[in-house]
Amino acid sequence: MAKLEILTVPDPRLRQQCQRVEVVDDGIRQLMDDMLETMYAAPGIGLAAIQVGVAKQIVVIDLSKDDEARKPLFLVNPEVVWTSEEARVYEEGCLSVPEYYDEVERPERCRVRHLDRDGKVQELEADGLLSVCVQHEIDHLNGRLFIDHLSKLKRDRVVKKFSKQAKFSGKAPAAL
């Protein structure tokens, strides 16, 4: 396994639409393993392939606590097929928007159809934090960040802050 570099705003690759995976093969499984290692090291609870510069519809998630056995979820070509009418506000953060957190309202529950690590079709019923995490990561696959759910003023402030940091660090890609 290898630890990968996580892209951060304002990197324009974070706005790409990700491509469907045709076959879950050893290369895709290796990527998922590398994504998990990267996510655990960050540390985080979810990571989309685009966050490591791979524009494929792949998500890894693990909500287990430090003192629990790891329970990774592998979602390939995930698609939300149902959401509840009830919404809930959670404070979200993102490995691609480091050390910034804000409240986002999302459906409390969702159902997601996806391929698993073996390429088999599965459906996942999620609620609470898992529902938030799944929706957050699927947003990444569609070129959306959690800051897109904030007011334009808040979003612009965040992007400006990170653009300025990138400029001073010499890593300034084109703005979002």
CATH of the domain at 152: 3.90.45.10
pLDDT at 113 over 60: yes
Classify the phi-psi angles of 93: left when phi > 0, otherwise alpha if psi is within -120 to 50, otherwise beta: beta
Coil, strand, or helix at residue 161? helix
- Asked if residue 67 belongs to a domain, the reply is yes
- Asked if residue 6 belongs to a domain, the reply is no
Among the listed residues 91, 105, 125, 137, the single catalytic one is 137
- Asked if residue 32 belongs to a domain, the reply is yes
Q: Could you report the per-residue pLDDT of 115-131, keeping only the tens digit for each?
A: 999 999 999 999 999 99
Structural domains of the chain, count: 1
Q: Label residue 51 exposed, middle or buried (CB < 10 Å: 0-12, 13-18, 19+).
A: buried
- The amino acid that residue 31 corresponds to is L
Range of the domain at 68: 12-169
Q: Could you report the per-residue pLDDT of 9-57, keeping only the tens digit for each?
A: 999 999 999 999 999 999 999 999 999 999 999 999 999 999 999 999 9
pTM score over 0.75: yes
- Asked if residue 83 belongs to a domain, the reply is yes
Q: How many residues does the chain have?
A: 176
Is 137 among the residues known to form the active site? yes
